[in-house]
């Protein structure tokens, strides 16, 4: 008969080995994911940082952030010197030196100048879509969590919202094109011939003729795409607030809405802001939805230039970094100049996502630090 102490030690030893194997396996999977992420980001930084940074002061290529996108002209002069000039600079050079001094000229679309237009367009699309999605998403979450009678129908609604999160982005793009670009209602004195329905209002017409390819149409499409994430995360944040907060507020004579606004929403706000962090990255990085609804490869003016009134820029098309990168990668012949523009745009895009996410995280942490419960 074996000694009981030896059996116990052997059992403990076996459990220790099994625990070590599980720990090693889980740790290996974690570090494998981190390694893949580092390889992806490392490649983008390795190839993109030299385009954005330079060795001499001010150490940042300001022109790439402030100038508009142009065609790049690569050519030799009469002395055999190689030049790389954006279209505007190339025209000035030929005016001063003459077109006869240009030899072996090559042009590369969208590879010259800077990416000010795509940067601004991406920022406007992302921020506007998140604001719209937060308004409608939090409103829906409040209704589902605080007002709706829980039952089979509300369960199907929640299931539909979860399924909506898995719809491909290209489907949202086609949806946005059909609804917001072609059929959304507008107030106009002269309805278009293609209007689906025109309702006279006396002083104007409510015409269902769409908003056209525009900033507002693209932002609305992106808002629909990120709504499921915001609704689900916001509802879970509302449910996490203790029921006692609601009961105490109602016992003091507050209405249901006063209870939600004063005793529930402030404590659910950190979770809601967390959903906005997740939504920012997805909204900023999508190409298919804005391809059909808002984005354009080249645009001479920035969104507010030439706009009629403070809201006029909402009705115009915009450039966007995801679509700009797609154009360079898929629609322009590959060369060292297009690759440089691609990696530079990707690097700036990663910086934008990082700044947006960091700002959201800082805001969430500041709000959370003020809550004591």
Range of the domain at 9: 1-60
Q: Which of 113, 148, 176 is the last residue of a domain?
A: 113
Tell me, yes or no, whether 161 and 78 share the same domain: no
Q: 224, exposed or middle or buried, with CB in 10 Å at 0-12, 13-18, 19+?
A: buried
Tell me: do 355 and 308 sit in the same domain.
yes
Retrieve residue 174's tokens: 């086609």
Clarify whether residues 131 and 94 are in a common domain: no
Q: Please give the average per-residue pLDDT across 212-231, as a whole number.
A: 91
Looking at the fold, whether 363 and 264 belong to one and the same domain comes out as yes
Q: pTM here?
A: 0.86
Same domain for 68 and 182, yes or no, is no
Cβ atoms < 10 Å from Cβ of 143: 14
Instruction: With both helix axes pointing from N to C terminus, report the angle between 215-240 and 265-285 in degrees, rounded to the nearest 10.
Output: 140
Give the single-character DSSP code of 314: G
**Is there a contact between 246 and 263 (Cβ–Cβ < 8 Å)?**
yes
**pLDDT tens for residues 83-113?**
888 888 888 888 888 878 888 888 888 888 8
Q: How confident is the model at residue 31 (pLDDT cuts 50, 70, 90)?
A: very high
Please give the average per-residue pLDDT across 222-238, as a whole number.
90
For residues 254 and 289, membership in a common domain is answered with: yes
Across 41-78, b (16+ Cβ under 10 Å) vs e yields eeebbebbeebbeeeeeeeebeebeebbbbbbbbbeee
Q: How confident is the model at residue 50 (pLDDT cuts 50, 70, 90)?
A: confident
Q: What is the mean pLDDT of residues 328-342?
A: 85
CATH code, domain with 228: 1.10.3720.10
Contact 133, 279 (CB under 8 A): yes
pLDDT of residue 372: 63
Q: For residues 288 and 361, state if they share a domain.
A: yes
Give CA–CA dist 344/332, Å, rounded: 16
pLDDT at 349 over 70: yes
> CB neighbours (10 Å) of residue 127?
15
Tell which phi-psi region holds residue 103, choosing left (phi > 0), alpha (psi between -120 and 50) or beta. Answer: beta
Neighbours of 200 (CB within 10 A): 10
| Cα first-last separation, the chain | 58
**Token digits of residue 24:** 């090693």
The number of domains in the chain is 3
- Taking residue 192's Cβ as centre, other Cβ atoms within 10 Å add up to 14
Are 200 and 289 in a shared domain?
Answer: yes
Structure confidence at residue 217 (pLDDT): 93
Reduced to 3 states (helix: H, G, I; strand: E, B; else coil), residue 48 is: helix
Same domain, 137 and 13: no
Task: Give the full edge-to-edge strand order of the sheet including 69-76.
Answer: 82-86, 69-76, 103-113
Q: How many residues are recorded in the chain?
A: 373
Write the DSSP assignment of 16-37 as a string of letters.
Answer: HHHHHHHHHHHHHHHHHHHHHH
Residues 147, 266, single domain; the answer is: yes
Whether residues 231 and 143 fall in one domain:
yes
Q: Is the peptide bond before 58 cis (omega within 30 degrees of 0)?
A: yes
pLDDT, averaged across the chain: 85
Nearest to 265 by CA among 234, 227, 289: 234
Name every residue whose Cβ is closer than 8 Å to that of residue 259 and which is 6 or more positions away in sequence. Answer: 245, 246, 249, 250
pLDDT at residue 187 in the model: 86
Under 8 Å between Cβ of 109 and 338: no
188 and 335, same domain (yes or no): yes
Alpha-carbon span 304 to 296, nearest angstrom: 15
Percent of the chain at pLDDT above 90?
17
Give the 3-state secondary structure of residue 365: helix
């Amino acid at each position: 008969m074996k000694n009981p102490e030896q059996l116990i030690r052997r059992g403990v030893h076996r459990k220790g080995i099994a625990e070590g194997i599980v720990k090693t396996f889980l740790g290996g999977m974690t570090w494998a994911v981190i390694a893949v992420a580092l390889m992806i980001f490392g490649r983008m930084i390795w190839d993109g940082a030299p385009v954005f940074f330079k060795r001499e002061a001010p150490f940042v290529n300001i022109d790439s952030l402030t100038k508009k996108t142009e065609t790049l002209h690569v050519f030799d002069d009469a002395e055999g010197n190689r030049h790389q000039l954006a279209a505007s600079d190339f025209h000035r050079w030929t005016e001063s030196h003459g077109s006869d001094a240009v030899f072996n000229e090559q042009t590369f679309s969208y590879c010259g100048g800077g990416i000010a237009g795509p940067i601004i367009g991406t920022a406007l699309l992302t921020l506007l879509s998140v604001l719209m999605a937060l308004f409608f998403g939090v409103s829906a979450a409040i209704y589902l969590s605080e007002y709706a009678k829980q039952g089979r129908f509300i369960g199907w609604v929640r299931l539909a919202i979860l399924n909506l999160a898995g719809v491909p982005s290209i489907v949202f793009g086609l949806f946005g094109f059909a609804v917001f670009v072609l059929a959304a209602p507008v107030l106009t004195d002269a309805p278009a011939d293609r209007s689906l329905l025109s309702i006279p209002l006396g002083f104007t017409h409510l015409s269902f003729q769409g908003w056209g390819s525009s900033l507002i149409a693209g932002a609305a499409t992106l808002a629909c795409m990120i709504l499921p994430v915001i609704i689900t995360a916001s509802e879970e944040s509302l449910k996490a607030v203790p029921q006692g907060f609601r009961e105490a507020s109602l016992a003091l004579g507050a209405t249901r809405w006063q209870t939600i606004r004063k005793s529930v929403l402030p404590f659910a706000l950190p979770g809601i802001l967390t959903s906005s962090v997740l939504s920012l990255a997805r909204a900023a990085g999508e190409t298919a939805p804005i391809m059909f609804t808002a984005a354009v490869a080249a645009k001479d003016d920035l969104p507010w230039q030439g706009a009629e009134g403070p809201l006029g820029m909402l009705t115009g098309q915009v450039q966007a970094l995801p679509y700009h990168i797609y154009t360079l990668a898929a629609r322009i012949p590959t060369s060292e100049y297009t690759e440089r523009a691609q990696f530079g745009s990707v690097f700036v895009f990663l910086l934008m996502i990082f700044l947006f996410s960091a700002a959201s995280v800082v805001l969430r942490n500041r709000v959370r630090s003020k809550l004591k419960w």
